[in-house]
Each structure stands twice: as C-alpha cells, then as structure tokens.
C-alpha cells in the first residue's frame, strides 16, 4: 500500500472522537469497550460503558460479581454471551495470570471471548504493541484503498487485508494508528456514501481514483431474519407478583427471564391456544384483546412479532416449567429477554 500513516495520524490528532474508554486507556477498560462495541453503535455503547464501569470498575470486581447481575447490566445491548464471557474471562485472568491482563498475544487469545480483533485492540492501545486490529471498518477502508473486489467476509480476504494493515502499523503509535482507522471508518469511509473529499487518504485510494468507492466493499447479502410469532401471558397475582420463566441456559437469550408463552413460525397464536398452554382448565383464565401490547424485536437471524396479553382468573392450576412468581422488586434485578422488561413496566403502570 502506498498511503502514508503520517497523513492518517495527523487527521486523527485533529478529529479523533472523545470516548470514555480513551480517557482510561487501560487494558481492562479497552477490553470492556471493544466487547461492547461488537455489533453495537458507539452512541449506544457509551451510557452502558459508563454505568458498567461505575458498578464493575476493576477486573477483580467483575470476576467476583454474580452472573445474573452482570447480565442485568448488559441488558439492552444484546448478544448476552459477550457479558458472560467478560465475567468468565475476568475470572480466568485472576486464576491464570494473577489478575494482570497479559500483554502476550497467545495468552490473550486464550481468554474467553477475546478474538483476534479484540486482542489487537488491547495490545496496541493499552500495551503499545505493533499489531493490527482489523474490524469491519478497517476491512471496508482497505478494500477501497486497494480496490479489492473480493468478498471481504471470506477468510482469505480477511487474512490478506490483515497482512496489509500489519505492515503499516507504526512502531511509535500503534494504538493511535488502529484507533485512527476505526474513526476514519466510522466518520469518513462510511458504507455506501463515503465522504472522500474529507478523507486524508483519498489521494492514494485506488477505488476513489477508479470511481468504485461506492460499490466496495463486496459482501455476500445477509439472509433476512426469520419471522417468529410469540404470544406471551402477563399473569400478576393479588400480591403484585409476576409469573416469569427463565429461558434455557443454551441458545437464544440463554438464561434470560420472560413472560411465558408460545411461539408459532407462521401466524399469531389464538387466545384459546394461550389459555390451554397455561392450564387445561382454560375456562379458569380470562384472556381478551383488551390491554394487548404488540411489539417487534429483531435479532440477527430472527424477528419476534410478540403479543403480550394481560391474563386474569384462577392461577391455582397453572404449572409452567422453569417459571416462578417474582416480586416486582426482584424483577428489577433480573435480566429480561428482549422486550419483556418494557412489557413489565407497561403492565405495572397501566394495570390497577
């Protein structure tokens, strides 16, 4: 690659984003921020990061926290295995490395939840190691700079781009270099409509010279999320407790809590089906369209079309596996699945 790192670093010094993890610049803070930023926008992450650091300010505090609380602080960011792996990884650092995050690539990659990109970010930013940190932003930038017309999701193309970036990482400012690429991809070399006239590297960009900057990078189209129709029952007893069910410890939203109900792949369930799910004595429950709450929640591979029904009646015969009657105060401490917390808040407010 013919472009000069000096142009990029000069631009970064003038335009770098002010981010809370850059104020800390320590290995733990960088680790947390990079895990949160996976599949999540910076503006969304910032308040979560600040709240997380207030509650779990050190690796030691995180390692000794209860998993339920850790996931609760992550609620809303999605991909909850990230939170569990952060806690698990913190425990591994305490047990295997005496509480010190290692500055060795092999050791760092052996910790739960730390992949190649996260390791590169931690090593270059916190330990000033001359290693690349290649994420989606960097793949997009380099594919344009080099006019790479192959699918950047292919492992061989990722390896090619990683090697190109590794060759460019400067000895004196490796962390700033990697963060400069991140910022350039977030603000200038953006998807679909890059702001080439403002880019410090446009003079050396092959795609810009050839007019292909808006067609790159090439990526195979993603599959559309699969629709899933969910009918959930909101049962609240005379003392104000909610009936909640914990999801299995493996799979989507593992271990999260929700209002129990049923799923259908092709249609919304009938009220009668929901009544029969809770009890064979369907006449003991009253379910109507009144106070129904409709919500949509999209995951990477599926989209929930969910209907919440407030249910009244005789709850004595109800037996739902993995469910418990939970006090409202305890509900606030539990990690809820998807939109189920909003439903709890809605029915707490709107039902007398």
Cα-trace Rg, the chain: 24
Q: Tokens 């939840």 sit at which residue? A: 113
Q: Where in the chain is the domain with CATH 1.10.340.30?
A: 5-130+169-189
Q: Is 275 exposed, middle or buried (0-12, 13-18, 19+ CB in 10 A)?
A: buried
User: Which pLDDT value is given to residue 280?
Assistant: 73
Among residues 74, 28, 81, which one has the least CA distance to residue 52? 74
pLDDT-flagged residues of the chain (< 70):
1, 281-282, 349-352
Q: Where in the chain is the domain with CATH 3.90.79.10?
A: 226-350
Q: Is 249 exposed, middle or buried (0-12, 13-18, 19+ CB in 10 A)?
A: exposed
Half-sphere exposure in the Cβ direction for 94 (13 Å, CA) = 13
Q: What is the CATH number of domain 5-130+169-189?
A: 1.10.340.30
User: Which pLDDT value is given to residue 281?
Assistant: 65
User: Which pLDDT value is given to residue 34?
Assistant: 97
So which residues are the catalytic ones? 34
Asked if 291 contacts 333 with a C-beta cutoff of 8 angstroms, the reply is no
Distance CA 352, CA 350 (A): 6
DSSP code per residue over 151-169: BTTSHHHHHHHHHHHHHH-
Q: What is the CATH number of domain 226-350?
A: 3.90.79.10
User: Which pLDDT value is given to residue 282?
Assistant: 60
Name the pTM for this structure: 0.85
């Amino acid at each position: 690659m013919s472009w000069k790192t000096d142009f990029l670093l000069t631009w970064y010094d003038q335009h770098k984003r002010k981010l809370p993890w850059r104020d800390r610049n320590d290995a733990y803070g960088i680790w947390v921020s990079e895990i949160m930023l996976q599949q999540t926008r910076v503006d969304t992450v910032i308040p979560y990061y600040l709240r997380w650091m207030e509650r779990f300010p050190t690796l030691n505090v995180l390692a000794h926290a209860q998993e339920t609380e850790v996931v609760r602080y992550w609620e809303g960011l999605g991909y909850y295995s990230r939170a569990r792996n952060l806690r698990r990884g913190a425990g591994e650092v305490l047990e295997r490395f005496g509480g010190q995050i290692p500055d060795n690539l092999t050791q760092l990659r052996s910790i739960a939840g730390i992949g190649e990109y996260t390791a590169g970010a931690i090593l270059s930013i916190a330990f000033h190691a001359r290693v690349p940190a290649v994420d989606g932003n960097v793949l997009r930038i380099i594919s344009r700079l080099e006019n790479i017309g192959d699918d950047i999701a292919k492992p061989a193309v990722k390896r090619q781009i990683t090697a190109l970036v590794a060759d460019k990482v400067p000895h004196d400012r490796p962390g700033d270099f990697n963060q400069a690429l991140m910022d350039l991809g977030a603000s200038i070399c953006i998807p679909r409509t890059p702001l080439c006239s403002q880019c410090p590297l446009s003079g050396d960009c092959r795609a810009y010279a050839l007019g292909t900057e808006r067609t790159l990078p090439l990526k195979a189209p993603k599959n559309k999320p699969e629709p899933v129709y969910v009918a959930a029952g909101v049962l609240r007893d005379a003392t104000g407790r909610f009936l909640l069910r914990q999801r299995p410890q493996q799979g989507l939203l593992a271990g999260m809590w929700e209002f129990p109900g049923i799923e259908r792949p092709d249609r919304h369930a009938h009220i009668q089906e929901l009544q029969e799910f809770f009890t064979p004595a369907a006449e003991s429950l009253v379910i109507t369209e009144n106070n129904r709450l409709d919500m949509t929640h999209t995951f990477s591979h599926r989209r929930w079309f969910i209907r919440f029904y407030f249910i009244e009646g005789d709850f004595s015969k109800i037996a739902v596996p993995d469910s418990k009657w939970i006090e409202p105060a305890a509900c606030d401490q539990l990690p809820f699945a998807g939109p189920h917390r909003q439903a709890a808040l809605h029915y707490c407010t709107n039902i007398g």
